[in-house]
Amino acid sequence: MSIFDQLNKPGAEAAAPKPSEGSFTFIFQALPESVEALRALPEAALDTPYKTAALTICALCAYAAAPEIGREMLNFLKGPAPLSPYEISFLNDRFRDGKHIPFSYFAGAAPENSYTPTAPYTVTVFSNPYSFQNEGWATLHLNSGGADSPRQIKLRLKPSEGKWYLSEQMVMVGIRPPQKDDPWA
């Protein structure tokens, strides 16, 4: 039984990113359903901030379906600085009514289809001229099908490992409600 059954979503495996003008597009045939499945993906090398950002969206989707599994995934992505009690409380609050939010970052997800992405799951992470202003830090951007402006994920390099870890996510913020839940639609 899939952790995504309740959300009508499949699960597990990814393809390599394709760079294009400051952006990387990641294609996942299915979403990981455990921290072990997440670690098995090629992106789990965490050797670029783009990979870590893309996996953050996958981990947040898992959180929507199974919070404990999502926390394990996010703690893996956060490396030496696991989720704080404040971050856990924030996520729990956001997921009360926003289980669709992380799915909105995948291609094809829109208010009209209740943020159901098209398979395979495709997410594009991009930089701008300010993304790498501070050495060892990156602020990358993602577009949501329910927002007019890009959202950010902040990452930090651990030089001794050569890995980029999740520092802060600003993707679990308000987006337009699914059309079926919008009284003004």
Examine the pLDDT at 108 and tell me if it is beyond 90.
yes
Do residues 102 and 138 make contact, with C-beta atoms less than 8 angstroms apart? no
* Alpha-carbon separation of residue 128 from 77, 89, 138 (angstroms): 22, 30, 10
Query: How many residues are there in the chain?
Result: 185
Q: Is the dihedral of CA 151, 37, 160, 86 positive or negative?
A: positive
Confidence label for 123 from pLDDT (cuts 50, 70 and 90): very high
Examine the pLDDT at 12 and tell me if it is beyond 70.
no
CA pair distance 78, 76, nearest whole angstrom? 5
Task: Give me the residue spans of the domains in the chain.
Answer: 5-179
Identify the burial level of 91 via C-beta atoms within 10 angstroms of its C-beta, where 0-12 means exposed, 13-18 middle and 19 or more buried: buried
Examine the pLDDT at 7 and tell me if it is beyond 70.
no
Give the model confidence (pLDDT) of 146-161 as tens digits.
Answer: 999 999 999 999 999 9
Residue 177, token pair as written in the block: 């409600």
Do residues 41 and 76 make contact, with C-beta atoms less than 8 angstroms apart? no
* Cis before 120 (ω within 30): yes
23 bridge partner residues: 126
pLDDT of residue 184: 76
